[in-house]
Structures are given as C-alpha cells and as structure tokens.
Amino acid sequence: MVVPFRRVAASLSSRHFTHSTQYLPFRATRGMTALVLAALLGGCAVGPDYARPALDLPQAYKETGPWKLAAPRQIDDHQPWWEAYGDPVLNALMDQANAANQTIQQAAAQYRQAQATAEVARASLWPTVGAQAGASRAQTKTNGVQRLGNSYSAGLNASWEADLWGRIRRGAEAGDANAQASAASLAAARLSIQATLAQDYLQLRVTDLQKDLYRRTVAAYTRSLQLTTHQYEAGTALRSDVAQAETQLRAAQAQLIDLDDTRNQLEHAIAMLIGKAPAQFSLPALPPATASDSAIDANAARLQGSLPQIPVGLPSELLERRPDIANAERLAAAANANIGVARAAYFPTLTLSASGGYNSLAFANLFNTPSRVWSLGSALAETLFDGGARSARNDAAVAAYDAAVAQYKQTVLGGLQEVEDKLSTLRVLDQESAVQAQAVQSAQLAERLAMRQYEAGTVTYLSVVTTQATSLSNQRNAVTLLGRQLVASVALIKATGGGWQAGRDAP
C-alpha cells in the first residue's frame, strides 16, 4: 500500500450517553457494531512486507578437497556435537557448562526478556478492560443553599484502538522477530561457550601429551648422562661429553616444568566455563605412556578423542545452520516491521471505548436499576503538523533496515570465510601431519643409530646430542599438530553451526 506523506487532519471527539435502563439502545448498538466491523474489515498494514535479503552464494565451498579425517563420526542435529569426540570427561564438562555457565544464563535471561517484550506488543491488539469503584463525600452550594452528601460508584470500562493501518500488528511483528533473534543469540552464545570449552579441554589434553613426552625424554636423557659419566670415569669419554649430556637433561627438565603453567591456565579457564572457581575444580592428567608405546600413536589413543567427519553441506545451508546468521536475518525482519510502524503515524488513530456501572448518592441504592449508567464513545485523531518528525522517523526506520540488511550480508560473508578457513586448515594439517609422522620415525631411527655408534666409539657425543634434539623436536611438532587438528575441527563444527537449525526453539 502506498503511503502519502501528508494527510488532512481530522478529529472526532467521543460522545457519551447515560441511560437508566439495563439495555443499550438498539441504534447505538447497531452503530457501534458497524463501526467495529468497518475497522476490522477495512484495516491494512502499511509498510513493506518482509522478504529475506537476496544473496549471491556459491554452489560449493572452495576449500573442500580430497582429505580424510581419522575415525569419522557424523555431526548432525540429532546428537550433541561434542559426543563425536568420544570423550566421557568432555561430555560431563559440557553438561556442567550448559547448566551453570553465566554467559549462557545471561543470554537465556535476555531471551526471556525479548519474549516478554513481544507479548507486550501483541497485547496491544486486544481491548483494555478495567474496573473501578469509588466513594466520596462533598459539600456543594447551589443557589445559596449548601448541601453535604455522599456519592458512590462502581463499574467497568473498556477501550480498544482499532488497528486500521497495521501499526500495532507491525509492532507485534517486530517484537516476534526480535524474540526470534534473541533465541538465535542464545544459541550462538551456547555454541560459543561449548566450542571454547572443547578447545580448552583438547588443548589441555595435548599439554598432557607433551608433558608425557618430556617425562620420557628426561628419563632417556638421564640414562644418556649416566652412560657418558661411566665412560668418562673409564677414560673413554671427554668431560665435555658429560657437560653436554647434563645440559641437555636440564633443558628438558625446564621445558617439562614450563608446561605446568600452560596446563594450569587451561584448567582455570575450564573451571570458569563450567561456572566454578578455579580452586573448586581439578582435572586429573592422562595416565603416562608405557615404555612400549610408540610416541604419537600412543598419545593419540590415550587422548580418547578422534577427529570427526564434519558434513559442511552447501554454502546456502549455512543460512539455516549458523545462529549468528539467523540472528542477523531476524534483526533485519524486525527493522523492516519498524518501517510499517513509522509509516502508520501518517494515518489517524481510531479508539473505541465503553463503560457501564452504577452511580448513586446512597450506598443502599447503588446497585438498583435506576442507578445504572453506561457510555459509548469513539475518538478519531490525526496529527496536523509535527515539524517533519514523522518523516524523520520514517527515514530513520528505512536507514536502520538498510543497516540491518548490510549487517546480515556481512555476517553471511564472514560465516563463509570462517568455513573456508577451517576447511583449508584441516586439509593442510592433515597433509602436514602425515609428513611429520614420517619425520618422527626417521628422527627416532637416527637417534637409536647414533647412540649405538657412540657406544661403539665410532662417533662423538655431539652426534648423539644432535640426533636426540632433532627427535624431540619432531615428536613435539607431531603432538602440536595433533592439537591443532583437534582445535581446528571444533572451530569447523562451530563455523557450520554445530548441528543447530534455524526455526527450532531456543535451547
């Protein structure tokens, strides 16, 4: 409906009728009925009807490629996504975070507030009914005669604004859209906390693996120091060999101690995410590897987690799977409805009112038939001049909608970029970890051969130190790569919405 920018103003004051009989006059009843029907049948909602902003989306992701993840498990909306990692400790922590995290509690309260606000807007579609009762004592003077008397009253009253131009309906539409946006915000907050908790937990477990690696390294370096000391005492090794072995041992011990700080900070972060003080939370370390365990394979097994297969779907599906995108789209819908609210101000408002009750000078006669009174009224009001305020509000509403649409499109583009980034990271890390595993095997072989040659007296201890340092560096890189893969897989799950679907109830 095209809305004119200037209207001729008109006002019609309400008329009130008082009658002492218990029935309304037939003509008054018929007139009010006709007026109400005209208001209901003739009403229309001004402003543009909402349609989701159009987007030019690609048919597929650029970074999807021929890479394979270990132990595939499906991520979908039928299960909590973190269960795909197969870690019961992580599952228990997620339950605690969902129940006690304060950021989630704040978002849940804001969602309830948005729901209540939407109900307030929708309530304006219905009449307002009230009751009143009163008693007064007054002294009056008429024609020089003073009179002191009482007055009693009781009755009901009702008023209703006929939503001829859809102002109230557009307001309710905006309230519903804002409530839906708040529901999506709650889902986004919950997903963000869950992803952060999963990443912190997996990083803590990787730190446990690194500590275990350094514990085994310290034990190996201790044996090397004992060997060089014995050979020095036997006169077959130099004092510098003993110094090098001791230096290498102390450096590894220092690195092992340094990892405690990393683990402690991650443990503190997890405590906060599950709603506890750090002093109230402790997470036992992984059991140490046995002597027969091979480094990276044993670490991955004891981590109790595996990289799940993540169905990223199509770029168009991201609009329904990411709560932040759903939130931005619903805010655009609310902004569109607010345009209708602003444009409805150009049209007059019609308010219908009715009241009935009793009025008497004597309380004993208050509810007698002669004391009955009633009234019907209507008021039509239109603003004649406002200095351009309505036009400015309309321009502001249109600008707010344009901003909301731009924010929605930017959120979609950001979501697409995030998915592409994580796909690329996982693909590259998968290739890198395969090469790194080969480097670990070669470095461990070189370390064993160098030690045998040193024991046979064919090489200096410097060769042993060099190969040991190389082996340790490659093993730590392999563990670090495993941690990066786990963290990136969580990030990809978050980027694709974690199994969430637009339109479902707030969790």
CATH topology for the 50-129+167-352+389-495 domain: Outer membrane efflux proteins (OEP) (1.20.1600)
Q: What pLDDT was estimated at residue 148?
A: 85
Given a cut of 90, is residue 449 above it in pLDDT?
A: yes
Q: Lowest-pLDDT range, 26-40, 167-181, 450-464? A: 26-40
Q: Sorting pLDDT into bands at 50, 70 and 90, what band is 13?
A: very low
Q: What's the whole-model pTM score?
A: 0.82
Residue whose C-alpha is closest to residue 327's, from 88, 506, 79: 506
Q: Which residues of 75-112 are buried (b: 16+ CB within 10 A; e: fewer)?
A: beeeeebbebbebeebeebbebbbeebebbeebbeebe
pLDDT tens for 230-250 read 988 888 888 988 999 999 999
Given a cut of 90, is residue 21 above it in pLDDT?
A: no
Q: What pLDDT was estimated at residue 287?
A: 77
pLDDT tens for 178-199 read 999 999 999 999 999 999 999 9
Phi, psi of 157, deg, nearest 5:
-140, 150
Q: Could you state, in order of their start, the residue ranges of all structural domains in the chain?
A: 50-129+167-352+389-495
Q: Sorting pLDDT into bands at 50, 70 and 90, what band is 364?
A: confident
Residue whose C-alpha is closest to residue 497's, from 332, 331, 313, 330: 313
Burial of 304 (0-12, 13-18, 19+ CB in 10 A): middle
Q: What pLDDT was estimated at residue 371?
A: 80
Q: What pLDDT was estimated at residue 7?
A: 33
Phi, psi of 380, deg, nearest 5:
-115, 120
Mean of pLDDT over the chain: 83
Burial of 197 (0-12, 13-18, 19+ CB in 10 A): buried
Q: Sorting pLDDT into bands at 50, 70 and 90, what band is 60?
A: confident
Q: Lowest-pLDDT range, 42-46, 183-187, 371-375? A: 42-46
Are 183 and 502 contacting, i.e. CB atoms less than 8 angstroms apart? Answer: no
Q: Which residues of 136-166 are buried (b: 16+ CB within 10 A; e: fewer)?
A: eeeeeeeeeeeeeeeebbbbeeeebbbbbbb
Q: Lowest-pLDDT range, 48-52, 407-411, 441-445, 503-507? A: 503-507
Q: What pLDDT was estimated at residue 399?
A: 97
Are 384 and 9 contacting, i.e. CB atoms less than 8 angstroms apart? Answer: yes
Q: What pLDDT was estimated at residue 66?
A: 52
Q: What pLDDT was estimated at residue 448?
A: 92
Are 90 and 448 contacting, i.e. CB atoms less than 8 angstroms apart? Answer: no
CA 108 to chain CA mean position, Å: 10
Stretch 78-107: mean pLDDT? 89
Q: What pLDDT was estimated at residue 505?
A: 54
Given a cut of 80, is residue 42 above it in pLDDT?
A: no
> What is the percent of the chain with per-residue pLDDT over 90, rounded to a whole number?
53
Query: From CA 17, how far away is CA 176, in angstroms rounded?
Result: 40
CA 39 to chain CA mean position, Å: 42
The strands making up 349-360's β-sheet, listed across from edge to edge, are 128-142, 145-162, 349-360, 372-381
The contacts of residue 469 (CB under 8 Å, 6+ apart) are 248
Phi, psi of 90, deg, nearest 5:
-60, -40
Q: What pLDDT was estimated at residue 71?
A: 38
* Residue 307, SS3 per DSSP: coil
Given a cut of 90, is residue 142 above it in pLDDT?
A: no
Query: From CA 378, how far away is CA 91, in angstroms rounded?
Result: 63
Identify residue 261 by its one-letter amino acid code. D
* Residue recorded with tokens 């060997």: 227
Q: What pLDDT was estimated at residue 456?
A: 85
Query: From CA 91, how far away is CA 86, in angstroms rounded?
Result: 8
Structure tokens at 305: 């987690």
Which residue has better confidence, 265 or 139?
265
Given a cut of 50, is residue 18 above it in pLDDT?
A: no
Given a cut of 50, is residue 450 above it in pLDDT?
A: yes
Which residue has better confidence, 301 or 81?
81
Stretch 379-407: mean pLDDT? 93
Residue whose C-alpha is closest to residue 312's, from 24, 2, 140, 69: 69
Given a cut of 80, is residue 78 above it in pLDDT?
A: no
Stretch 335-358: mean pLDDT? 92
Q: Which residues of 336-350 are buried (b: 16+ CB within 10 A; e: fewer)?
A: bbbbbbbbbbbbbbb
Stretch 94-118: mean pLDDT? 93
Q: What pLDDT was estimated at residue 506?
A: 54
Q: Is the torsion defined by CA of 113, 118, 121, 126 positive or negative?
A: negative
Q: Lowest-pLDDT range, 87-91, 270-274, 295-299, 404-408? A: 295-299
Q: What pLDDT was estimated at residue 111?
A: 92
Structure tokens at 333: 């819908």
Residue 54: HSE in the Cβ half-sphere, 13 Å Cα cutoff: 1
Q: What pLDDT was estimated at residue 278?
A: 94
Query: From CA 27, how far away is CA 35, in angstroms rounded?
Result: 12
Q: What pLDDT was estimated at residue 311?
A: 75
Q: What pLDDT was estimated at residue 303?
A: 60
Given a cut of 80, is residue 292 above it in pLDDT?
A: no
